[in-house]
Amino acid sequence: MDDEAREFEQFARPHAAAALRLARTLVRDEADAQDILQDSFLRAFRHFRGFSGESPRAWLLSIVRNVSFTFRKKQGRFGGFEAAEPDEQLEELVDDGPSPEHTLLQACDAQEVRVALARLPTQSREVLVLREMEECSYREIASVLEVPIGTVMSRLSRARSQLLRELVGPTGSKN
């Protein structure tokens, strides 16, 4: 048991913080997020010896995501994840000319970014958190989200555009 525990520690612990951040992203409530994290670790502990994939992190994060998903369904308050938005519909954001939003953006602080992130739909939040905060590769993200890499690309593109809009408002018109 002790060996197993040590082994699991080496396997999972480096990703614990990432796992908690993802759980927070998906359920928002801190207490729920920690419960989900604990539950996810329990599951991972039972099964990690059978793991043979290439990224323990992606595997752990996908457990966290599944546990969150089940939790949210049970809560019934979200009715499951929000319906996936069509991935094709990317909005054109920027035209030519000088870039006022870039200047505005540079004035943003961390708190404003968190505010803006919290307003995004789950699908966008999770992909941003995985990419920007955990610095997951597209391949890892694809495995966590169980979608093709092309979908990761388009979700990320849309999520960043949404975040930009949250932070600096629609291009060309403040307020």
Partner 1 sequence: MEPLVEHPRAALHAYLDGELSLEGSLAVEEHLAGCPACRQRLETFRTLRKLVRAARPEAVEAESAFARVVPSAAGTESTAGPDATATTSARAEPVPNMPAVTDAPPGRGVGLAPLRRARRWPPLAMAGGLVAAAAVALVVLIPAQEMRRAASEVAEVHARARDTGRWVETASDDPSAVARWLEPRVQYPLPPFPTGDGFALRGARVEALQGAPVATAVYEVRQHVVDVFAWPSHEGDSEPIPTVTGPWTVCRWAHAGVAYWMVSDAGSDDLKRLAGFLKAQRT
Smallest distance from the beta carbon of 69 to partner 1, in angstroms? 14
Residue 170 near residue 131 (C-beta atoms within 8 A): no
Smallest distance from the beta carbon of 64 to partner 1, in angstroms? 11
Dihedral (CA of 147, 14, 39, 76) sign:
negative
Smallest distance from the beta carbon of 86 to partner 1, in angstroms? 13
User: Residue 68 and residue 23: Cα distance in Å, rounded?
Assistant: 7
Here the tokens at position 28 are 């928002």
Question: What angle do the packed helices 138-145 and 56-75 form, to 10 degrees?
Answer: 40
